[in-house]
Amino acid sequence: MLAYLVIREGAKWTDVYRLISHQTVSIGRSATNQIVLKDDRCSRYHAEIFRSEGNWMVRDLDSRNGTIVNRIPLAEPHALAPGDVIKIGRWHLAFVHDLSKAFPDSSSLIVKEFRGDSMEDDPLVETQPLLPEETITINTRLAESLFDTSPEPGQSYSPEQLEAFASLYQLGGRLARTETAKELSAQVLDLVLSRAKVQSGGILLCPPEFNAGDPSSEDLELLVERAGENQTLHPVPQFLANTTLRDYKALMAEVPVHQSEERPEGNRHSSVSTKFLCAPIRPGEITRGVLFCYALPGETLEEDALHLALSASRLLSAHLHQVGQIQLLNETLSLTQDENRRLRERLGVESEVSGKSLAITRVTEQIQIAAEKSSPVLIRGENGVGKETVARAIHFASNRKQGPLVRASCAVLNEEEFETVILGSPDTSADGSRKKGLLEMGQGGTFVLGEIGELSLDWQAKLMRFLDGHPFERLSGNGPGVKADVRLITSTRRNLEDDVHQGRFRQDLYLRLQDTQILIPALRRRPEDVPVLANHFLEHFCQAIGRRFERFTPAAMERLMEYPWPGNIRELKNVVERAVLLSRGNTIDLEQIALSISPSPTAS
């Protein structure tokens, strides 16, 4: 028997595809599929249809947004029956043997579901009664509401209309104190239902991430719903929702609704009409939602309800726009604060890696070269010269600057602590979580491992395998290794060449690390950099305590330049901080300069 897929996007017919028994039909966004669906919500290879044991089957290919058949997401391959409708993104694919039975109407879709063991046991039940356009009668279209402006003096209003004015005024006050789209929508829907004296309705909105231009009804999600007691909410007909979105007008329409009931003549189906009310929600330049309600048997919808719904939906639109702008501002502010923090950190780094000497100029050039690479870096120098500062400078100048920067020192961790701190816990807690180590926390960023020369030979071997692309294995053997995308920067004060010669450091690891090597000279080797650094620290600490110092006196600066700085930049920073705290004037003089050893007459 011939089989077809009739394909439609929204309300537009697009194609008919004949299925051939020996061929598998792939569906997705990629141009290599047999059926190509141009929709960002479709995965490149989204689903496939194939023949198995006499049945046509549809299978989801682990797509991002899933495949739906008759409103049910696929969890496993599904045997297709005539009339089944596959939904992928905004596309519908009807499986039929008879082309005339694909879709009853080109403007709407009836999704049908079989219940019972066979078609005879239980007739087709329409789970989404979205009816052809010609069966829906739009009685009223409304572009302006009588409640959009304040009551005019001399104008005659009914008591109900005056109450509606008051209700809308009070609603505006409540909405101004509401912060989320769902809470806003719930308050508006409840007011409309209460004033219209009906029980059932809902609010459909585009999801926040939707940015594909003008939406259709299939792009909307039910944000808030209300239904009468023991009632199931009827979905709004697609034709009405699309008309409301397109025309930006409120409308009231007569809609046939199918009901199932036992009748003496054996016909279990009857059709009655009910009134549907729809109003557009437009928080900006594009209509992005629909407010709807309808009358159950025994209820009525009057035209005043349509006016009220239109005014309420416009209030909702304005406040949704305001909430969206506030969220956008908050997100922008957060991003700006993060960027400012990074810039301040980078500025501080650049200030501490600065000076007039040729030696520090060479270091800054090496930082830039290292930042452009992805290979490991080895930073060498005495204690206090600023090895960690140089590592931060490399990070902030690299293409990983938006990622995390994590640091650990091999000098303060024993082997057991190293495994826990770097690799995290191998076991999960009672709630299923696991404590991550620094390596995983640095994913996508930079991992700085200080004093690499203190690392044991066993851990050196594990680190070497990690640099070769393997997981970082645990020395204890408890639990799996850890993989992470990090850029490794190491530092040391030791003479690694001697350690390699004496067997305390692996030669292969040394060769791997010293591919990009930066040597930071001691501060005593570059006395001309002392004034630059001292003035930077002076400004930094003055800002921190809210005081203002103009300068160091010439005598104080001379002493700073004569001092050999065995503790290097770290010691200079501490000396300047102490001087700022001790000084009572607006300059730093000799009395505030406390040095650990007597200055030599010349810098060594």
**Beta carbons of 270 and 283 less than 8 angstroms apart:** no
The reply to whether 110 falls in a domain is no
Strand ranges for 315-469 from DSSP E:
377-380, 405-409, 446-450
pLDDT band at 348 (very low <50, low <70, confident <90, very high): very low
Write the single-letter amino acid at 267.
N
Instruction: Place 333 in a pLDDT band, splitting at 50, 70 and 90.
Output: low
E strands of 65-116, at which residues? 68-69, 72-73, 78-79, 85-88, 91-96, 111-113
CA dihedral 315, 321, 323, 327 (to 10 degrees): 180
Together in a domain, 301 and 165: yes
Q: Which runs of consecutive H residues, i.e. helices, occur in 432-491?
A: 438-441, 457-467
Please report the pLDDT score of residue 352 as a whole number: 58
pLDDT score recorded for residue 101: 57
As a whole-number percent, the residues of the chain with pLDDT over 70 amount to 82
- For residue 477, the domain's CATH number is 3.40.50.300
Q: At 28, list the tokens.
A: 């997705």
Q: Which of 484, 519, 554 is the last residue before a domain boundary?
A: 519
Assigned domain for 345 exists: no
The encoded tokens of residue 143 equal 């572009």
What is the reported pLDDT for 263? 35
d(CA 195, CA 197): 5
CA distances from 193 to 65, 141, 158, 533, 593 (A): 33, 19, 19, 70, 78
Q: Same domain for 441 and 471?
A: yes
Q: Indicate if the pLDDT at residue 221 is higher than 60.
A: yes
Pairing status of strand 78-79 against strand 12-19: unpaired
pLDDT tens string 208-218:
777 767 888 88
| Residue 444 shares a structural domain with residue 564 | no
Answer yes or no: is 131 within a domain.
Answer: no
Residue 108 confidence (pLDDT) above 50: no
Kindly tell me the sign of the dihedral angle through the C-alpha atoms of 416, 421, 423, 425.
positive
Please indicate, yes or no, whether residues 475 and 587 belong to a single structural domain of this protein: no
- The phi-psi region of residue 549 (left if phi > 0; otherwise alpha if psi is between -120 and 50; otherwise beta) is beta
266 domain-assigned: no
Q: Which residues contact 345 (CB under 8 A, 6 or more apart)?
A: 392, 396
Residues 273-279, mean pLDDT to the nearest whole number: 87
For residues 122 and 450, the model is more confident at 450
Q: Tell me, what's the pLDDT at 127?
A: 32
Residues 220-226 have a mean pLDDT of 89
Q: How far apart are CA 314 and CA 283, in angstroms?
A: 8
**What is the pLDDT at residue 327?**
61
Q: How far apart are CA 474 and CA 420, in angstroms?
A: 9
Residue 353 has a pLDDT of: 72
Secondary structure tally for the chain: helices H, strands E: 14, 26
Calculated CA dihedral for residues 223, 226, 227, 233, nearest 10 degrees: -10
Domain-embedded: residue 277: yes
In a domain, 601, yes or no: no
Same domain, 490 and 574: no
Mean residue pLDDT across the chain: 80
361 and 299 housed in the same domain: no
Mean per-residue pLDDT, 561-583: 90
What pLDDT score does 266 carry? Answer: 38
Three-state DSSP class for 349?
A: helix
Q: Are residues 362 and 463 in the same domain?
A: yes
Q: What's the confidence (pLDDT) of residue 113? A: 31
Together in a domain, 220 and 292: yes
Q: Per the structure, how many domains does the chain have?
A: 4
Digit-coded pLDDT (tens) for 246-255? 888 899 988 8
The mean pLDDT of 276-292, rounded to a whole number, is 88
Least confidently predicted of 106-110, 119-123, 166-170, 419-423: 119-123
Q: What does the angle CA 262 – CA 256 – CA 274 come to, to the nearest 5 degrees?
A: 95
Check residues 68 and 167 and name the one with the higher pLDDT: 68
| pTM of the complete model | 0.46
pLDDT exceeds cutoff 90 at 13: no
Write down the residue that tokens 């003479």 correspond to: 495
Give the pLDDT confidence score for residue 164 in this predicted structure: 78
**What is the reported pLDDT for 585?**
78
List of residues 6+ apart from 326 with CB closer than 8 A: none
Predicted local confidence at residue 189, as pLDDT: 93
Longest alpha-carbon distance in the chain: 118
- Alpha-carbon separation of residue 339 from 180, 393, 489, 524 (angstroms): 27, 16, 23, 35
Flag whether 115 is in a domain: no
Q: pLDDT class for 551, splitting at 50, 70, 90? A: confident
The pLDDT tens digits of the residues spanning 182-216 come to 888 999 999 999 999 998 999 998 887 777 678 88
Q: Look up the CATH number of the domain holding residue 240.
A: 3.30.450.40
| CA torsion through residues 26, 32, 38, 44, sign | positive
Contact 297, 335 (CB under 8 A): no
| Average pLDDT over every residue of 238-246 | 87
Is residue 599 over pLDDT 60?
no
Give the burial string for 195-218 (b: 16+ CB within 10 Å, else e).
bbebbbbbbbbbeeeeeeeebbbb
Residue 227 banded pLDDT, cuts 50, 70, 90: confident
Residue 159 has pLDDT above 60, yes or no: yes
Say yes or no to pLDDT of 417 above 70: yes
Return the closest-CA partner of residue 557 out of 542, 579, 540, 541. Answer: 579
- pLDDT confidence of 601, banded at 50, 70, 90? very low
The pair of three-digit structure tokens given for residue 360, joined into one six-digit string: 């520090």
pLDDT of residue 106: 37
Among candidate residues 80, 95, 110, the one where a domain is terminated: 95
pLDDT digits (tens, 9 = 90+) for 357-404: 888 889 988 998 998 888 999 999 999 998 998 999 899 888 998 899
pLDDT given for residue 434 in this prediction: 73
CATH of the domain at 585: 1.10.8.60
CB 205 within 8 A of CB 185: yes
145 Cβ neighbours under 8 A, 6+ residues apart: 250, 307, 308, 310, 311, 314
Residue 45 main-chain phi, psi, to 5 deg: -125, 100
Domain boundary among 498, 519, 540: 519
The pLDDT value given to residue 120: 32
Q: Average pLDDT in the 248-273 region?
A: 58
Contact between residue 186 and residue 224 where contact means Cβ atoms under 8 Å apart: yes
- The parent domain of residue 316 ranges over 137-150+158-228+235-257+272-324
pLDDT at 102: 52
SS3 state of residue 73: strand
* 141 and 289, same domain (yes or no): yes
pLDDT at 379: 95
For residues 401 and 288, membership in a common domain is answered with no
Distant-in-sequence, close-in-space partners of 313: CB < 8 Å, separation ≥ 6: 188, 250, 279, 280, 281, 291
Domain membership of residue 114 (yes or no) is no
Cα–Cα distance, 392 to 398 (Å, whole number) = 10
pLDDT in tens, 110-128: 333 323 332 233 322 233 3
CATH of the domain at 72: 2.60.200.20
Give yes or no: residues 361 and 497 share one domain.
Answer: yes
* Together in a domain, 437 and 502: yes
Cα separation of 12 and 242, whole Å?
A: 13
Query: Rounded CA gap, 250 and 247, in Å?
Result: 9
Position 325 scores a pLDDT of 62
Length of the chain as a residue count: 604
| Between 514 and 324, residue with greater pLDDT | 514
